[in-house]
Amino acid sequence: MLVGLPIPSLTPKASATAEAWSKKGQFHKPLAKEFRRHGFTYRQIAREGNAAIYEQRWTGCAEPSVCYEVIRIRRREGFQIGGRVVEPAEVYPKSEVWGTDGFTLTDKDAAFNKFQQIVAGRTGKTNWNQAGDGLEQEQTETKTQTETQTK
């Protein structure tokens, strides 16, 4: 009997989603479709490639308001810490990159518009300003293009 070796599984494993593989062919654990953090419940409502929308609800209220977090999914490589192996995984953006890789919106249509921008690969930052009862969008890349054309 060998101790410490992995036991082969007798049941076939489900195949991973396409989003879980890097360009190098390395498997990355996919982001959870639902999770709880800091009193909020998050549920993925859309995903395409490296873009996703999570519906955010505060769990401390009977009738919580809903927000939408539109994110650009990143991947981190695996590493070892204290003899423990941490597998490669997809990661939710940190607060330090909010406004670049993550956006919180209160309007579902605006969230899907931002989602489509990320899917399309547009890299310009978007400034979201509350304007009256709607959201006004000003894209930095569009503004820069206009300034360049007028010079």
Q: By CB neighbour count within 10 A (0-12 exposed, 13-18 middle, 19+ buried), where does 148 fall?
A: exposed
Q: Which two tokens stand for residue 116?
A: 């489509």
* pTM greater than 0.95: no
Instruction: Kindly list the domain boundaries of the chain, sorted by start residue.
Output: 18-127
Listed in order, strand segments (DSSP E) in 16-133 are: 34-37, 40-48, 51-58, 66-72, 74-76, 79-81, 84-86, 89-91, 102-105, 126-131
Q: What pLDDT does 129 receive?
A: 37
DSSP string, 71-104: EE-EEE--EEETTEEE--EEEPPPGGGBTTTEEE
Contact 49, 107 (CB under 8 A): no
* pLDDT confidence band for 24 (50 / 70 / 90): low
**Whether the Cβ atoms of residue 30 and residue 47 lie closer than 8 Å to each other:** no
pLDDT of residue 118: 95
Between residues 137 and 88, the one the model is more confident about? 88
pLDDT of residue 139: 37
Q: Which two tokens stand for residue 112?
A: 């899907």
Which residue, among 86, 78, 71, has the nearest Cα to 31 in the 3D structure? 71
pLDDT for 99-131, tens place per residue?
999 999 999 999 999 999 999 987 544 444 333
pLDDT higher than threshold 80 for residue 50: yes
Percent of residues, the chain, with pLDDT higher than 70: 64
Count of all residues that appear for the chain in the document = 151
Task: Say if strands 102-105 and 66-72 run parallel, antiparallel, or are unpaired.
Answer: antiparallel
Q: Are 86 and 79 in contact (CB under 8 A)?
A: yes
In this structure, are residues 30 and 17 in contact, taking their beta carbons and an 8 Å threshold?
A: yes
pLDDT tens per residue, range 52-79: 999 999 988 888 889 999 999 999 999 9
